[in-house]
Amino acid sequence: MAETAAHHPLDPLEPRDLVAPHHDDKSLNETLLDHVWRKPGKGWFMLFGLSLSALGLLVIGVTYTLARGIGVWGNNQPVGWAFDIINFVWWVGIGHAGTLISAILLLFQQKWRTSINRFAEAMTLFAVMCAGLFPLLHTGRPWFAFWLFPYPSTLGAWPQFRSPLVWDVFAISTYLTVSALFWFVGLIPDLAALRDSSKTKLQRTIYGLFALGWRGSGRHWHNYKIAYLLLAGLSTPLVVSVHTIVSFDFAVSLLPGWHATIFPPYFVAGAVFSGFAMVITLIVPARKYLGLRDVITDRHLENMNKVILATGLLVSYGYLMEHFIAWYSQNQYEFWTFYVNRATGPYAGVYWLMITCNVVTPNIFWFKKCRTSVPIMWVASIAVNIGMWCERFIIIVTSLSQDFLPSSWGIYTPTWVDWSIYVGTLGLFGTLFLLFLKFVPAVAISEVKELQLELKHAAHHNSHGAH
């Protein structure tokens, strides 16, 4: 670390201003804990009201589904998987970015993750909760969902472990559990900070309960550091494996448009793509509202846009390869799916929207102006989220609605129940997220302080090296 970043603007190993330099531990505390102790503003309450209303839609949709059965959805023969699985895959994909930011960037020692990892991990947890709801309802009799687990039942039967759907159950539940542990372990020191700066007895008791009596002991840090690193190390292959298994749900079958070996990497890239877009969508307003500009700097946003560009290109490559193989294999069913049905069939509008959002949009990030302009990146990130949703729709619905026999083709249209459950999960996500922003520090305080110290040391060495 000899010279300042100004000399090597492109060297990724040089320290840069990841935290505004005028902070010390005390002012960082005030900045980062402030939003927890402040009474939430009008904006928060308005958003919370909106999210709660949407959550109400979820309650209505789920209740109606449970009361009347799956028939109230638009699912039919041949389209047996529709909104339930589309939204499941979409939500899980969004969840993956959080783990990637947290875990993979930690392993790569990318210091810029520090300010956004807590935020992203919370997003992961809530997104996976929303995702988990869909397969549960999709079983049709969610009160028997425990049949999916290998427990010694009176039925005398065990699950079929060769089925990707059973793999999925294990993958999603493991992912949720490990993400929750990772998030909580990262949270413990900050909960202790909240406990010790509480204003009232009640706050101190509640935060104290969750902080487990953490006192910042050197003997505890000694175990904590390695535990956190190991959890990150475990989460990294876990993310890749979970979305791979989600893609197996499709790839292991024989349906044209699903039966492809590129699915696992292509799904993982798509997941990271949509997840990072969702982080941008959420972090831009949150940063403004929470006053975290000093910690979540423009550099962070620019870095995330670079990741969106990279993964967007990977996804585009996936589309390209699917179409190439459909032609190269000369399989008439595949050819029909990719060149006729998707591009010109009943769902062509959704297909071209997907191409616009996923293939065209990310390319604006080649230009620095777009990478650094907040309004542009925010709109682009929403476009990417819509595009990825369309992708799941296209993969699932077009392949099912027109497969091998024209006599068994059918059209799928979602009903109001489908839409209300989907919008309802957005509400559930928003509600949980706003509560998280209110009650928990949105930035990993202890890590930011540590980084601040490191940066100061580095700056100190630099100034000495210059003399």
Partner 1 sequence: MEAKVLDSWVLAEFATPDILVDATRQMREKGFQGMDTYSPYPLHGGSEALGLPPSRVPFIALCGGLTGMVTALSMQTWMNTIDYKLNIGGRPLLSLPAWVPITFELTVLFAAFGIFFGLLGLSRLPQPYHTVFESEDFRSASTHGYWLGVPHAPGQDAAAVIDQLKALGATQVTVVTGEKE
Q: CA nearest 185: which of 156, 211, 152? A: 211
In this structure, what token pair is assigned to residue 397?
Answer: 């619905």
Least distance in Å: CB of 237 to partner 1?
7
Total of residues contacting partner 1 (CB under 8 A): 61
Dist. CA 360–CA 373, nearest whole Å? 18
CB closer to partner 1 out of 178 and 421 = 178
SS3 of 11, please?
Answer: coil
CA angle 400, 405, 408 (to 5 degrees): 65
Give yes or no for residue 450 binding partner 1 (CB under 8 A).
yes
Check residue 364 and report its DSSP letter: G
Cβ atoms of residues 422 and 35 within 8 Å = no
SS3 of 385, please?
Answer: helix
Q: Which amino acid is at 169?
A: V
CB closer to partner 1 out of 33 and 304 = 33
Phi first, then psi, for residue 351 (nearest 5°) are -60, -45
Least distance in Å: CB of 195 to partner 1?
7
The span of 65-73, 166-174, 287-295, 337-345 binding partner 1 (CB under 8 A) equals 166-174
Give yes or no for residue 167 binding partner 1 (CB under 8 A).
yes
Q: Can you list the alpha helix ranges (DSSP code H) found in 100-163?
A: 105-107, 117-138
SS3 of 84, please?
Answer: helix
CB closer to partner 1 out of 86 and 191 = 191
Pick out residues in 41-80 that bind partner 1 (CB under 8 A): none
Give yes or no for residue 461 binding partner 1 (CB under 8 A).
no
Give yes or no for residue 19 binding partner 1 (CB under 8 A).
no
Which of 34, 285, 453, 465 is close enough to bind partner 1 by CB under 8 A? 453
Which of 77, 109, 154, 160 is close enough to bind partner 1 by CB under 8 A? 160
Check residue 108 and report its DSSP letter: T
Q: Write the binding mask 77 to 106 for partner 1: x where contact by CB under 8 A, - elsewhere.
A: ------------------------------
Cβ atoms of residues 398 and 322 within 8 Å = no
Give yes or no for residue 203 binding partner 1 (CB under 8 A).
no
Pick out residues in 208-267 that bind partner 1 (CB under 8 A): 208-209, 212-227, 230-231, 234, 237-238, 241, 245, 248
In this structure, what token pair is assigned to residue 376?
Answer: 């542009």
Cβ atoms of residues 246 and 89 within 8 Å = yes
With tokens 């009232």, the residue in question is 200
Least distance in Å: CB of 85 to partner 1?
18
Question: Residues in the site for partner 1, rule: CB under 8 A?
Answer: 24-26, 29, 150, 156-162, 164, 166-167, 170-171, 174, 177-178, 181-182, 185, 189, 192-193, 195-197, 208-209, 212-227, 230-231, 234, 237-238, 241, 245, 248, 445-447, 449-450, 453
